Amino acid sequence: MILHELISFDILRLIWWVLLGVLLIGFALTDGFDMGVGALLPFVAKSDTERRMVINTVGPVWEGNQVWFILGGGAIFAAWPPLYAVSFSGFYLAMWVVLAALIVRPVAFKYRSKRESTSWRSAWDWALFAGGFVPALIFGVAVGNVLQGVPFHLTPDLHSIYEGGVAGKFFGLLNPFALLTGIVSVGMLVMHGSAWLSLKSEGVIVERARTYGAYGATVAGLGFVIAGVWLAFGVDGYSFVNAVDPAGPSNPLLSEVSKGGSWLNAYNDRPWIMVAPIMGLTGVLLTIRGLRAGHEVSTLLTSKMAILGMISSVGLTMFPFILPSSSDPKSSLTVWDASSSHMTLFIMLVVTLIFMPLILAYTAWVYKVLWGKVTEKDVIEHGDSLY
Amino acid sequence: MDFGIVELSRLQFAMTALYHFLFVPLTLGLSIIVAIMETVYVMTNRPIWRQMTKFWGTLFGINFVLGVATGITMEFQFGMNWSYYSHYVGDIFGAPLAIEGLMAFFLEATFVGLFFFGWDKLSKVGHLISAWLVAIGSNFSALWILIANGWMQNPVGAEFNPMTMRMEMTSFTEVLFNEVAQAKFVHTVSAGYVTAAVFVLGVSAWYLLKGRHTELARRSIAVAASFGLAAALSVVVLGDESGYSASHTQKMKLAAIEAMWETHPAPAPFTAFGLPDQEARETKYAIEIPWVMGLIGTRSLTTEIPGIEELVHQAEDRIRSGLIAYDALMEIRADLNNVSDAARAQFEEHSDDLGFALLLKRYVDDPREATEEQILMAADDTVPTVWPLFWAFRIMVALGFSFIGLMLYFFYLASFKGMKFPKFALRLAVIMIPAPWIAAELGWFVAEFGRQPWTVDGVLPTALSVSSLSVTEVAMTLAGFVLFYTVLFIVEMGLMIKYIKKGPYMDVKETDEWMDVHRRRMITVGEPDAIATPAE
């Protein structure tokens, strides 16, 4: 089959780098508000009825939203196998904590309302909180570590070996810069969750959500700016020592990489990428204003814009690096040497082009069917068929 | 090579996969049964069918969510615990997993929300479509997962690329239409249908024994028995298809399942009972049924099925050939930018056997330095432990036939005996509830344990597939999973039992519909119709 040569290898890699971003951002835009709502749950809702009102705003949709995460994992596996192998085994215990949080979350949604007991319900409320807060924090921490480079090296067989002992590996992730990006991530999703709640809920819940959402957005915005300054002065960037063949074999060891210089040099080389951080910060400001003014639909949209801008800033700044290695820069994974084969990328692109529009269409339809607020009356009258 | 990591990672994978597979079969089957019930509701407008849809739908939901939650672990575990595997075969294995997300899981997960929350928001037909999309989504999910798994059993359409040190896809259609995957898919989803049918049958039988919800229970039995009968037949027929394809794709697995130590003159007998002794390479107290194995395995009376001894000799030859490939690979790898034609030709000639040379990595870092004795040991390693396979397979098959019997009997009672079920039959149906789960877990065990010592048959040894982690890390996550999963299992069982005991409930809309139906019947018929009276 030579069909796949219709699109050249380097273009396919570029497309799959964009698609990786689309999936991660898609995850943050959809499941992001579910996680934000989970993290907000103990703060915006006090009584059982209030909590059920909050939970049921995401009740029918979190399951579909979560697939963005699963699909993100699957797509990394299929399109960027070295990235999948190195990052998941490298962030081992942190990944496990994320898994644990994401395992209890679905169960909490589904089982919470199945018994009346207060202790049963409050236990699941904590699970929902953890299911939102913990992944949001860890994903942010992971981004911070990726920006700084991660201590791993590849053997000539391409086994990936992560440096450090058990505790060192886990606690090494929790360095100050990474904690900052973790906080940005939590703030961002809290903002998004509150924008969702102000659209889908009512009364005192919305009032509280707007207050916390504005805090979250402020933290995210300030943190994002501080992280940018920190990148300029305190974090080394990575670059290729000599030119690489963008259509060469996917073997990171074939290229030479050096650590040093600044990531922000990218803004000299490609000034147009300024669009991303500007969009992120504008989104944050508009969202704060929207939350204060009580706008509903437009606030959710500006919140999405903020997330889109902030996450894509990271990717665009690092391009073409995906996962730099701090201890052995040569092992760094980049767009040009960490992808699947030409054929696999092509086939996966065809499949994505067929199914992604379908997914977007039926997801939009489902949201349309479910349009409208979840009211106190709904929860009291139809309690049996709700979460 | 740290053997503790390999064993712990395998234990973790087995535990999380077997646990995940407690929920998946019921999801596969119950989604369809529920959709069938709702179809009847939409076609006949009889409220009892709506009540059945909702009741079984509730149980479906309790089960479904754990399938989803534990499925997340499966998707990420490859990268966490099996990172060399992920690097080595991700180019092929990752694709079906990603397609599963795109094509199946998105559909299933998006519409399952509408199924539970959309009763008042959708038209009857709209809701019915949601129910079917959930069923179709879950079944397509199984298809892609089994295409991925089928490739591990029979790695077609791929070759090793020395430049990237991994397997790469050469033909997507071969991966897609892998005969092992096709047979496995139908066998596995049929097993799921049987599981759900036995579950519905058992729970309904319990209601009949208690004299509760009899109208719901009778109709549910009728659906379960007819659906279950077709599924039970299909599971056995396709199981046989799997056996047939194993006879040319996975000879060692087949020989191990049958404890066939030596090659028999065709047609080989089937050992119905025996005690396999791995050390002595013989089966004690064997009771053999002549010809049967030859017929199942080759569908002929003249084709031989190779025994374990012969396959070990073949493995030894392949190890030696693999060493030539490995030697060439090392030469290529020394300078990837200047590969000599001689080295490339030498590699390509023997590259199919490269995986066999990798078996030696368990004993020496550089397989080329292996001693004769180590080569013989590695060849011996290609034999999986026989007795668990031998027994797991036989119990699975016996259970498979018992489901045909059970379903046939209930189908007969439901169709020709006016739904009069004797007490012993109802008790039997209740006792049988756990049986399909046992069969399904054993089936998974036979497929995966039987593939050892490989993760990808003949390509990548299990011992080489793991991540470079410490024993502490894997032990910690394993302990964490055991704890979590145990708690979740207890919670799930508690809820299942609670909701089964509680039985169906009627919502406002249903009550209105009941009243309507009754009013009409009072006017038109004058006497209550026995089969259509509401459940108590």
What pLDDT is stored for residue B281 in this prediction?
Answer: 83
CA proximity to B61, closest of A31, A380, A68, A385: A385
Q: Please check whether residue B105 is in contact with residue A70, taking contact to mean a CB–CB distance below 8 angstroms.
A: yes
The rounded distance, in Å, linking the Cα atoms of B347 and B369 is 18
Q: Across chain A, how many H-helices and E-strands are there?
A: 14, 6
Name chain A contacts of B74, Cβ cutoff 8 Å.
none
Average pLDDT over chain A reads 93
Residue B522: CB atoms within 10 A of its CB come to 11
How, if at all, do strands B158-161 and A160-162 pair? unpaired
Q: Do B69 and A102 touch (CB under 8 A)?
A: yes
- Residue B83: give the domain boundaries: 16-254+385-468
Judgement on whether residues B39 and B132 belong to the same structural domain of the protein: yes
- In the block, tokens 């994974």 appear at A333
Angle at A58 between CA B132 and CA A31, to 5 degrees: 90
Other Cβ atoms within 10 Å of B124 Cβ, number: 13
Do B435 and B452 lie in a common domain?
A: yes
Percent of chain A with pLDDT over 90: 85
Kindly state whether B59 is in contact with chain A, defined as any CB-CB distance less than 8 angstroms: no
Which value, in Å, is the radius of gyration of the alpha carbons in chain A?
21
Q: Where are the domains of chain A?
A: 3-385
A148: its two tokens: 């700084």
Sort A106 into a burial class: Cβ within 10 Å, 0-12 / 13-18 / 19+. Answer: buried
Percent of chain A with pLDDT over 70: 100
Does B389 lie in the same domain as B374? no
Cα–Cα distance for residue pair B15/B70, rounded to 1 Å: 11
Q: What are the tokens at B14?
A: 């087995």
Tokens standing for residue B41: 């509701």
Q: Does B95 lie at the interface with A, CB-CB under 8 angstroms?
A: yes
Do B91 and B107 fall into the same domain? Answer: yes
User: Contacts of residue B506 in chain A, CB cutoff 8 Å?
Assistant: none
CB A351 within 8 A of CB A16: no
Distance CA B326, CA B319 (A): 10
CA distance B336 to chain A (A): 8
Judge residue B497's burial from the number of C-beta atoms within 10 Å of its C-beta, 0-12 exposed, 13-18 middle, 19 or more buried.
exposed
Residue ranges of B 96-115 with Cβ closer than 8 A to chain A: 97-103, 105-107, 109-114
**CA contacts within 13 A on the Cβ side of A137:** 15
- As a three-state string, the secondary structure of A35-87 is HHHHHHHHHHCCCHHHHHHHHHHHCCCHHHHHHHHHHHHHHHHHHCHHHHHHH
Phi-psi region of B62 (alpha: psi -120 to 50; beta: other; left: phi over 0): alpha
Which chain A residues have a beta carbon less than 8 Å from that of B112?
A: 63-64
* pLDDT for position B249: 83
In a domain, B141, yes or no: yes
| Tens digit of each residue's pLDDT (9 = 90 or more) over B411-461 | 999 988 888 899 999 999 999 999 999 999 999 999 999 998 999 999 999
Q: How far apart are CA A201 and CA A219, in angstroms?
A: 24
pLDDT tier at A2 (50, 70, 90 boundaries)? confident
Per the domain annotation, does B520 fall within a domain?
Answer: no
CA distance B205 to chain A (A): 24
Cα separation of A328 and A321, whole Å?
Answer: 14
User: Where does residue A243 rank: exposed (0-12), middle (13-18), buried (19+ CB within 10 A)?
Assistant: exposed
| pLDDT one-digit tens code per residue, A114-129 | 898 999 999 999 999 9
Length of chain B: 536
Strand B166-169 to B158-161 pairing:
antiparallel
CA distance A251 to A269: 26
Residue pLDDT, tens place only, A265-304: 999 999 999 999 999 999 999 999 999 999 999 999 999 9
Residue B90 CB burial class (10 angstroms; 0-12, 13-18, ≥19) = buried
Both B151 and B235 in a single domain? yes
Nearest to A63 among B113, B165, B498 (CB): B113
Question: Minimal Cα–Cα distance from B485 to chain A, Å?
Answer: 10
Q: Do B169 and A366 touch (CB under 8 A)?
A: no
Residue B86: which of A84, A106, A355 has the nearest Cβ? Answer: A84
Residue where a domain terminates, one of B443, B468, B493: B468
B354 lies in the same domain as B398: no
Say whether residue B281 is in contact with chain A using an 8 A CB cutoff: no
What single letter denotes the amino acid at residue B72? I
DSSP state of A25: H
The single residue listed with the structure tokens 């534990």 is: B70
* Same-domain pairing of B359 and B211: no
Contacts of B84 in chain A (CB under 8 A): 85, 159
Element (H, E) at B461: strand B460-461
Q: Is the pLDDT of residue A253 over 60?
A: yes
Pairwise CB contact (< 8 Å): A74 & B90: no
Q: Which residues pair with B153 in a beta bridge?
A: none
Dump pLDDT digits (tens) for A126-152. Answer: 999 999 999 999 999 999 999 999 999
* pLDDT at residue A382 in the model: 79
d(CA B225, CA B509): 29
Chain B residue whose CA is closest to A69: B72
**Which residues on chain A are in Cβ contact (under 8 Å) with B62?**
110-111, 114
Tell me the two tokens of residue B184.
Answer: 């496995």
Chain B: closest CA distance from residue A107 (Å): 6
Which chain A residues contact residue B472 at CB under 8 A? 166
Contact A335, A257 (CB under 8 A): no
Chain A: give the shortest CA distance to residue B416, in Å: 38
B463 vs B8: CA distance, rounded Å: 11
Q: How far is B379 from chain A (nearest CA, A)?
A: 23
Q: Are residues B174 and B322 in the same domain?
A: no
Give the gap in angstroms from C-alpha B530 to the nearest C-alpha of chain A: 30
CB-CB under 8 Å, B99 with A77: no
The answer to whether the CB of B308 falls within 8 A of the CB of B282 is: no
Q: Does B161 touch chain A (CB under 8 A)?
A: yes
- Nearest CB among B91, B109, B166 relative to A63 is that of B109
Q: A160, A330 in Cβ contact below 8 A?
A: no
Does one domain contain both B60 and B201? yes
pLDDT in 10s for each residue of chain B, 536 residues? 456 899 999 999 999 999 999 999 999 999 999 999 999 999 999 999 999 999 999 999 999 999 999 999 998 999 999 999 999 999 999 999 999 999 999 999 999 989 998 888 899 999 999 999 999 999 999 999 999 999 999 999 999 999 999 999 999 999 999 988 988 899 999 999 999 999 999 999 999 999 999 889 999 999 999 999 999 999 988 877 777 777 778 889 988 888 888 888 878 888 888 888 888 888 888 888 888 887 777 777 778 888 899 999 999 999 999 999 999 999 988 888 888 888 889 999 999 999 999 999 999 999 999 999 999 999 999 999 999 999 999 999 999 999 999 999 999 999 888 888 999 999 999 999 999 999 999 999 999 999 989 999 999 999 999 999 999 999 999 999 999 999 999 999 999 999 999 988 765 566 666 666 666 666 655 544 444 444 43
Subunit contact B81:A89, Cβ cutoff 8 A: yes
Could you give the percent of chain B with pLDDT greater than 90? Answer: 69
Are B75 and A369 inside 8 Å of each other by CB?
A: no
CA distances (Å), B201 to each of A264, B24, B42, B228, B532, in order? 65, 18, 23, 9, 20
Nearest to A110 among B61, B467, B480 (CB): B61
Please list the residues that pair with B158 across neighbouring strands. B169
B431 and B315 together in one domain: no
Last residue of one domain, picked from the residues B381, B413, B436: B381
Q: How far is CA B522 from the centre of its chain?
A: 51
Contact A369 B122 (CB under 8 A): yes
Q: B273 and B231 in one domain?
A: no
Gap from A360 CA to chain B (nearest CA, Å): 10
Inter-chain Cβ pairs, chain A and chain B, closer than 8 A: 256
Claim to verify: residue B246 and residue B352 sit in the same structural domain? no
* Mutation target among B59, B64, B86 for the A interface, most CBs of A within 10 A: B86
Q: Does B163 touch chain A (CB under 8 A)?
A: yes
CA distance to partner chain B, nearest, from residue A72 (Å): 8
User: What token pair was written down for B447?
Assistant: 């497929």
- Contact list, B71 vs chain A (CB under 8 Å): 70
DSSP B143-205: HHHHHHHHHHHS--SEEEETTTTEEEES-HHHHHT-HHHHHHHHHHHHHHHHHHHHHHHHHHH
* Helix-then-strand count for chain B, H and E: 20, 6
pTM of the complete model: 0.91
Mutual angle of helices A48-58 and A9-44, in 10-degree steps: 170
Is B506 among the domain residues?
no
Say how many C-beta atoms besides its own lie within 10 A of residue A142's C-beta: 22
How far apart are the CA of A172 and the nearest CA of chain B, in angstroms?
A: 15
Distance CA B401, CA A179 (A): 58
Q: From the CA of B42, how many Å to the nearest CA of chain A?
A: 20
* CA distances, B90 to each of B77, B93, B152 (Å): 13, 5, 11
How many Cβ atoms from other residues are within 10 Å of residue B293's Cβ? Answer: 23
Domain for residue B2, yes or no?
no
Query: What is the Cβ-side half-sphere exposure of residue B63, based on CA atoms within 13 angstroms?
Result: 24
Contact assignment for B169 to A347 by CB distance below 8 Å: yes
Confidence (pLDDT) at B227: 95
pLDDT of residue A1: 54
CB–CB of B490/B66 below 8 Å? no
- The answer to whether A102 and A135 are in contact (CB under 8 A) is yes
Pairwise CB contact (< 8 Å): B97 & A78: yes
B91 in contact with A, Cβ within 8 Å: yes
Helix axes A342-369, B83-99, angle to 10 degrees: 50
- Domain end point (choices B338, B353, B381): B381
Quick check: A89 and B472 CB within 8 A?
Answer: no
Given this model, what pLDDT does residue B303 score?
80
Does the beta carbon of B172 lie under 8 angstroms from any beta carbon of chain A?
yes
Which of the residue ranges A164-168, A362-366, B16-20, B156-160 would you say has the lowest mean pLDDT? A164-168
The first and second tokens of residue B247, run together, are 């006879």
Number of domains, chain B: 3
* Nearest residue in B to A74, CA atom: B98
Q: Is residue A53 predicted with pLDDT exceeding 60? A: yes
Q: Does B68 sit within 8 Å of A106, measured CB to CB?
A: yes
